[in-house]
Amino acid sequence: MANLSNRWNAYRPSKPVWLWSCVGAAVLTTIVGFGFGGWVTGGTAQERADTSTHDAVAALAANVCTQRVLASADAVALYSELEAARSWDRRKLLDEAGWTTFGDAGEPVSGAAALCATQILATDMPAATSDAPLADAKTGLENETTAHDSATRILQEEAENVS
């Protein structure tokens, strides 16, 4: 054992050995960092931030949409129509009725309608007795203008922060 210890203490690496050791350590650190350490490039980080922002705005808009629909006078009819519609038609029903369009925006918030329909259908709503068509979001919302204006302001601020 003393012989191995003496050999280790006497070892003096050359410059090429030092150089390749440093290169190998840098490569190994990079592989471990990106592969297992969670490191990402700037482009990937920006894509993740944009996706996260879009999802957050859609979730906020879906929550506002859900509250608006459930607070409407014909919530039971809306619920039954959404329940009867096929899953891919629910988004279209909510978007065309204006439930996911806020403020002066000409278009509905992307991704909000599907989340809104899921949240509405997750509530316990009594059986519908009316066969009324899906109401327009503009009707019966006089009491909700303050909440609507607040949500619109928040959505516009989020949109400006994304830009």
pLDDT value for 128 = 45
pLDDT tens for the chain, 163 residues: list them. 668 888 888 889 999 999 999 999 999 999 999 999 999 999 999 999 999 999 999 999 999 999 999 988 888 888 989 989 898 888 888 988 888 888 777 888 888 999 999 999 998 876 544 444 555 555 444 444 555 566 666 667 766 776 5
Burial class (CB in 10 A: 0-12, 13-18, 19+), 80: buried
Of 91, 83, 81, residue with least CA distance to 133: 81
- The answer to whether the Cα torsion of 65, 71, 72, 74 is positive or negative is positive
pLDDT value for 57 = 92
For residue 94, what are the contacts with CB-CB under 8 A and spacing of at least 6?
65, 69, 82, 100, 108, 113, 116, 117
pLDDT value for 25 = 97
Query: Tokens at residue 25, please?
Result: 């350590």
